[in-house]
Amino acid sequence: MVSPKIAVLVPCYNEALTIGKVVSDFKIFLPDAEIYVYDNNSKDGTSVIAREAGAIVKYEKKQGKANVVFKMFREIDADIYIMIDGDDTYPVDCIQQMLDQFIENNCDMLVGDRLSNNSYKNQNKRAFHNFGNNLVRNLINVFFGSELKDILSGYRIFSKKFVKNYASTIKGFELETDLSIYSLNYELVIDEYSIDYRDRPEGSVSKLNTFTDGFKVIKLFFNLVRLYKPLLFFGTVSAVMFILGLLFMTIPIREYFEYKYVYKVPTLIFSIMLIILSLLAFMTGLILDNISIIDKKNFKVRYNSTR
């Protein structure tokens, strides 16, 4: 039986302190894999250290993790793809067990779950990160009817079908959220493997901004709900406007029954406008929902035809 070709993808930006160890660990625990480090305009010699450690080094000038990963997906040919950050926060010694689970369960994507065993909560010292992880996870699980444990993990394994069909317009650290929602929307096979997360070593600086990047992730989530679940999104907007319209309409109706005359005509007009807009929003949701259903059917045909 021919062994699958495995590619390790390491998007990097100023990770000179840790990239050498990440590459060396994969050389030990997955010696037959090809390790690709894509340097995203680092200024600390990341690419030199990665090359000396034995990685295949390439470059992406467009700033942003998502831009780097898109280029990796486009350029690298393999049967199985392992994506990991270059900051040495994810364990490599369990990679064979992760691969075994990925292959055995015929997964499209397997996620390194940092949250189930509380290793992320115990190790991560950045304020509000645990709160942000739980908020995003709960929102996605509620809206998409899933039971995922870790939405934002950067440690993932993908099938070739997934890599060659994945498309998005994002650019930065919202990538993991988009990967998770994309998989849920198209009903791909997702699995999780509990890992022991460790915080960055002393001197290694995170590129994440808790509030700025957190806001981007929340904004992306609602944009993806609008895109992937338009009937739910526009139906909610429609229901809110319809209820407000009815509430405002009670004022002129009460006046009419009391005085046989409507004094607050602008309120009546405003309430009617809200009800009309609510109907338009609902029709928009219906139309976009039908388009979304057709898109899913086309995706499945395209996905199943990928060799």
Q: pLDDT by residue (tens digit) across 56-87?
A: 999 999 998 999 999 999 999 999 999 999 99
Question: What pLDDT score was predicted for residue 297?
Answer: 94
Euclidean distance between CA atoms 83 and 235, whole angstroms: 37
Cβ pair 30, 103 in contact under 8 A: no
As a whole number of angstroms, the distance between CA 223 and CA 179 comes to: 14
Look over the chain and give the mean of its residue pLDDT values, rounded to a whole number: 90
Q: CA 142, CA 259: separation in Å to the nearest integer?
A: 48
6-228 maps to which CATH number?
A: 3.90.550.10
Q: pLDDT tens digits, residue range 130-167?
A: 677 788 889 999 999 999 999 989 999 999 999 999 98
- Whether 195 and 78 have beta carbons less than 8 Å apart is answered as no
Query: What tokens were used for 249?
Result: 């309409």
Q: Could you identify the residue written with the tokens 């890992």?
A: 195
Q: Is a pLDDT exceeding 70 seen at residue 121?
A: no
In this prediction the pTM is 0.86
Closest CA to 158 of 140, 182, 127: 182
Contact criterion met (CB below 8 Å) for 66 and 172: yes
pLDDT tens figures, 29-56:
999 999 999 999 999 899 999 999 999 9
Give the pLDDT band of residue 272 (cuts 50, 70, 90).
very high
Confidence class for position 211, pLDDT limits 50, 70, 90: low
